[in-house]
Amino acid sequence: MVLTYKQGYLSPQPFLIRDITSRFPPPLSFSLKLQGQPKLRSIVKMSATEVTNPTISYESFAVKPPLHPTYDLKGIIKLALAEDAGDLGDITCLATIPFDMEVEAYFLAKEDGIVAGIALAEMIFNEVDPSLKVEWSKKDGDFVHKGLQFGKVHGRAHNIVVAERVVLNFMQRMSGIATLTKAMANAASPAYILETRKTAPCLRLLDKWAVLIGGGRNHRMGLFDMVMIKDNHISTAGGVTNALKAVDLYLEKNSLQLEVEVETRTLEEVEEVLQYASQTKTSLTRIMLDNMVVPLSNGDVDISMLKEAVRLVNGRFETEASGNVTIDTVHKIGQSGVTYISSGSLTHSVKALDISLKIDTELALKVGRRTGRA
């Protein structure tokens, strides 16, 4: 058997050349107008978030991914597959699995949680082999319980196994984020839960997509889509007022329309922001109330400072609580009257949800019961 390598994959001839060239079409792009940014980026190029398989469409996603002007979702999939394939491809599959053998493999939840990454999994399978057929009994955002078979993929065993780990790596991380987000969003009500930019490098869009699937809301995507005046900006600008003035002048000079948030760390800074806003036309839209949740020795938190800050703002701007936010404290923080609660823990140290993809599901369930994972 002659093996031919092209674009990160190794497969027997002549299937590889015919199939790989069909999987890697020219990059897809479309125009998109960003809301609230008519003068900054009225038209931007959106990288390929649609798929080549006509049976899968971006519009059909249960929860659509957040918008980003440069992020290439298909590119991330290709990088992940190429990372696994290296320069020789899946040697174990080539050695052990007859290339034309067809099987069914089943997705198995090994713990309770919110499933996320189903739409992405379909894109990955389609990238590896468009002839693979995927079916689901659940959709992104649905609850799955331990031991549930919630999806299956049918087709060439070789290609299913090649895609398996990449699919699961994405789904497990996204499902872990969605599961924690759902719990925190429910506890935070009536406040809305937000993530931060504390995401895995190069996986930001996927991390933030998982937050949406879990019922949270997105903070800014990056440095480009919102002005966020933080402590280091304030320190170098010479104070809160100077920083706000500089931002307002910059936006006006460059004809930019963006949401503006400023971080405050004391009640005095809150009052300074409010005084500036009362005397000047400003683009300010939100005030961050940072570390105004004080942890107590008994594990509880004191939110009196946070509540006072919310009282001072009195609805003139959106408010966002940040710092000391956990699944145990978020409910109490949500009762303070803040609009939003942001937490880096949603993405920076989340526990992945245990999911497997098995051809022999009977044996997998037997082993799972033995180990308490099914």
Q: Cα(277)–Cα(222) distance, rounded to whole angstroms?
A: 25
Annotated catalytic residue within 290, 320, 354, 358: 290
Based on the residue annotation, tell me whether 230 is a catalytic residue of this protein: yes
Annotated catalytic residue within 19, 72, 263, 354: 263
Based on the residue annotation, tell me whether 358 is a catalytic residue of this protein: no
What confidence score (pLDDT) does residue 124 get?
Answer: 98
- Angle in degrees, CA 370, 371, 374, rounded to 5: 85
Residues facing residue 69 across a β-bridge: none
| Mean pLDDT across 82-108 | 94
- pLDDT tens digits, 155-208: 999 999 999 999 999 999 999 999 999 999 999 999 999 999 999 999 999 999
What confidence score (pLDDT) does residue 222 get?
Answer: 97
Based on the residue annotation, tell me whether 23 is a catalytic residue of this protein: no
Task: Give 208's Cβ-side CA count (13 Å radius).
Answer: 24
- Angle in degrees, CA 280, 284, 286, rounded to 5: 140
- pLDDT tens digits, 254-286: 999 999 999 999 999 999 999 999 999 999 999
Q: Which amino acid is at 45?
A: K
Domains in the chain: ranges and CATH: 73-178+352-371 (3.90.1170.20), 185-349 (3.20.20.70)
Annotated catalytic residue within 23, 165, 265, 307: 165
Q: What are phi and psi of 88, to 5 degrees?
A: -125, -10
Q: Considering Cα of 241, then 244, then 250, then 255, what sign does the dihedral take?
A: negative
Q: Cα(308)–Cα(215) distance, rounded to whole angstroms?
A: 28
Going by pLDDT thresholds of 50, 70 and 90, the confidence category of residue 373 is confident
Q: In sequence order, what DSSP letters do the residues of 1-56 get, joined into one string? A: --EEEETTEEEETTHHHHHHHHHSPSPP-EEEPPTT-TTT-SSEEEP--S-SSTT-
User: pTM of the prediction?
Assistant: 0.84
- pLDDT tens digits, 326-340: 999 999 999 999 999
Q: Average model confidence (pLDDT) for the chain?
A: 87
Alpha carbon of 27 to those of 53, 161, 203, 325: distances in Å?
14, 26, 19, 41
Annotated catalytic residue within 6, 45, 133, 230: 230
Based on the residue annotation, tell me whether 195 is a catalytic residue of this protein: no
Q: Which amino acid is at 9?
A: Y
What confidence score (pLDDT) does residue 303 get?
Answer: 98
Q: Are 163 and 124 in contact (CB under 8 A)?
A: yes
Nearest to 277, CA basis, from 269, 258, 307? 269
Based on the residue annotation, tell me whether 110 is a catalytic residue of this protein: no
Q: What are phi and psi of 113, to 5 degrees?
A: 170, -175
Better pLDDT: 53 or 280: 280
| Other CB atoms within 10 A of residue 6 CB | 13
DSSP state of 337: T
| Peptide bond between residue 190 and the one before it cis (omega within 30 degrees of 0) | yes
